[in-house]
Copies of this chain bind each other. A is one copy, B any other.
Amino acid sequence: MDIKKFSALAGVSTATVSRAFSGNGRIKEATRERIFKLAEKHGYVPNIHAQRLNARRSEIIAVYYSFSSAPIFDYYNMELAQEIAKAAGARGYTTNLELTQRTDEPSAGLQRAATGGGLDGIILVADSRESAQAFVKRFKRLPVVVVANHDWVLPEAAALVRIHQASGIREAVAEMKAAGHTRIGFIHGMADEGKHRAFLEALRANQLDDVGAPTARGPLSFEDGERAIAELLSQNVSAVLCSTDILALGAMSGATKRGLRIPEDLSIVGIDNLAFSAFTSPPLASVGIPRTEIALTAVEALHQLVQDETAAPGAPSRQLIHTVHTRFISRRSLGAAPNG
């Protein structure tokens, strides 16, 4: 049943049917109602592709993750994707779940949709400036919002949502200091120079030794965390900040295996505040990322770009920059220093 058959059946023109469904143009309330009733009865629904073809708009966005090396679609990113999908849905957009094996090579589906009008825009979650830049360049014509760590400057991006990791990290280090820790280690994640820099700054701000701060590489998995903590323990740390909660959980596990109690013998703090981090044993103190705020901000920014593009196609617009702040979440894995 297409609009032609249906309009004949309803005894009106296709134009009238179209107006009834789109809400555009004047139409008598009575006719509209009659059309709706009939549509319901005969199961007529406008074809969405014909509408999109006309509108040159799809109401679909994609969330894409661009990483500097291995692709990670881990819990953190899943939770963020969820929030974005929710915020996008509230704005009338459908969200594509994009997963890809190669970080430097968007999937064929994404490519196709993005260049062929199948996507109104993309929210790019990127962990390195280079990959974000490459991505933005590749999809020059499409509205792209980049969600990024704080200290990036990305002139090419039309919109930028920056996560100010430093605020939460500063709070975390202050808490550690307050708990009597003076020798604090750091476990690296992927492409986390920003976090590490913020950590060093926080040490200085708290009159702690930043030059001699013990460091170990993750970068990614629970096992990486287990391995890394072993390294750090030989360097006599009493507390460790980890670049991600996953690494922190690995670190807790590794320390426990070595017979240490957390937090009595060793304090561990993560970054990300995953949903389950509140429920590990002990519960993991972590730097909380405001996912909902990030999602809302990114979707609003994208919507703005889409609107602007509609209003004045091709017109250069001012870069939108938003910054969201992180906050330390205190939990039992951070305790008093052993002999403080």
Main secondary structure of the interface of A (DSSP, over half): helix
Q: Which 6 A-B pairs have the closest CB atoms?
A: A48-B116, A222-B279, A97-B97, A49-B53, A48-B118, A45-B115
Of A58, A78, A85, which is in contact with the most chain B CB atoms at under 10 Å from its CB?
A: A78
Could you tell me the distance in whole angstroms from the C-beta of A189 to the nearest C-beta in chain B? 16
| Chain B residue, CB-CB nearest to A253 | B281
Contact of A107 among B63, B89, B107 (CB under 8 A): B89
Q: A47-B117, A53-B47, A249-B276 are in contact. Are A82 and B89 (CB under 8 A)?
A: no
Question: CB of A69 within 8 A of chain B?
Answer: no
Q: Does A238 contact B (CB under 8 A)?
A: no
Q: Which residues of B sit under 8 angstroms from A256, Cβ to Cβ?
A: 281
Binding site for B on A (CB under 8 A): 45-53, 58-59, 63, 73, 75, 78, 81-82, 85-86, 89, 92-100, 107, 109, 112-113, 115-118, 222-223, 246, 249-250, 252-253, 256-257, 275-276, 278-281
A258 to chain B, nearest CB (A): 12
Q: A46-B116, A112-B48, A113-B94 are in contact. Are A276 and B99 (CB under 8 A)?
A: no
Is the CB–CB distance between B250 and A116 below 8 Å? no
Tell me which of B49, B113, B279 contacts A253 (CB under 8 A): B279
Residue numbers in B under 8 Å from A52 (CB-CB): 49
| 9 A-B pairs whose Cβ atoms sit less than 8 Å apart in the complex | A45-B116, A49-B53, A50-B53, A53-B53, A85-B97, A86-B99, A95-B97, A96-B97, A252-B281
